[in-house]
Amino acid sequence: MSIVTLVTQQAPDFTADAVLPDNTLGQITLSSYKGKNVVLFFYPLDFTFVCPSEILAFNKKLDEFKKRNTEVIGVSVDSKFTHLAWKNTPVENGGIGNIQYTLVSDLNKNIAREYGILFNDAVALRGLFLIDTKGVIRHAVINDLPLGRNVSEALRMVDALQFVETHGDQVCPANWQEGDEAMKPTGEGVASYLAKHGK
């Protein structure tokens, strides 16, 4: 399945080994998070270059995600033991320290394959999936290996999703931020919005 066909569909479920926020080794099942939003993001490998910057950036904003009833889960093709070793490596030595969200082990690469982002049958591309409280993928983005993601944009998309779920008669236009005016999804609504913001 390609990343394009996943949006609007139920997120492929999985049960996998993971390092939990308290540094214990366990398993998680994605469908057990129904009732919360989930930002599920894939990265290529532990102990690499762009990856720790992203992982730490998500951790810095973790409280903001949690305020929005949103769990952050990272996934790579490394083992749970490699994840734990990376967490136990200080940031100044290229590690990620004691981050406070779950890292999933996709050692057999099945999860990346299911989400359509396995690259050269080796590692996951930088795929990010926003899953709603019913387990449906509502937003997806994919970056090539050297291109780090914008965590603030992931948070903005959570805000946008929650806004349209709360205000079913409105949609979020380009560059919408929490507190901005939204748009009625009608001809008149578009005209009214663009008259004020389109120039």
Q: Cα separation of 40 and 71, whole Å?
A: 8
DSSP 64-126: HHHHTTEEEEEEESS-HHHHHHHHTS-GGGT---S-SSEEEE-TT-HHHHHTT-EETTTEE-E
User: Pick the catalytic residue: 6, 39, 51, 158?
Assistant: 51
Query: Would residue 51 show up in a list of annotated catalytic residues for this protein?
Result: yes
117 φ/ψ angles, rounded to the nearest 5 degrees: -125, 15
Q: Cα separation of 145 and 26, whole Å?
A: 28
Q: Cα separation of 3 and 42, whole Å?
A: 13
Q: Cα separation of 182 and 198, whole Å?
A: 13
Helix (H, G, I), strand (E, B) or coil at 195: helix
57 φ/ψ angles, rounded to the nearest 5 degrees: -65, -40
Active site residues: 51
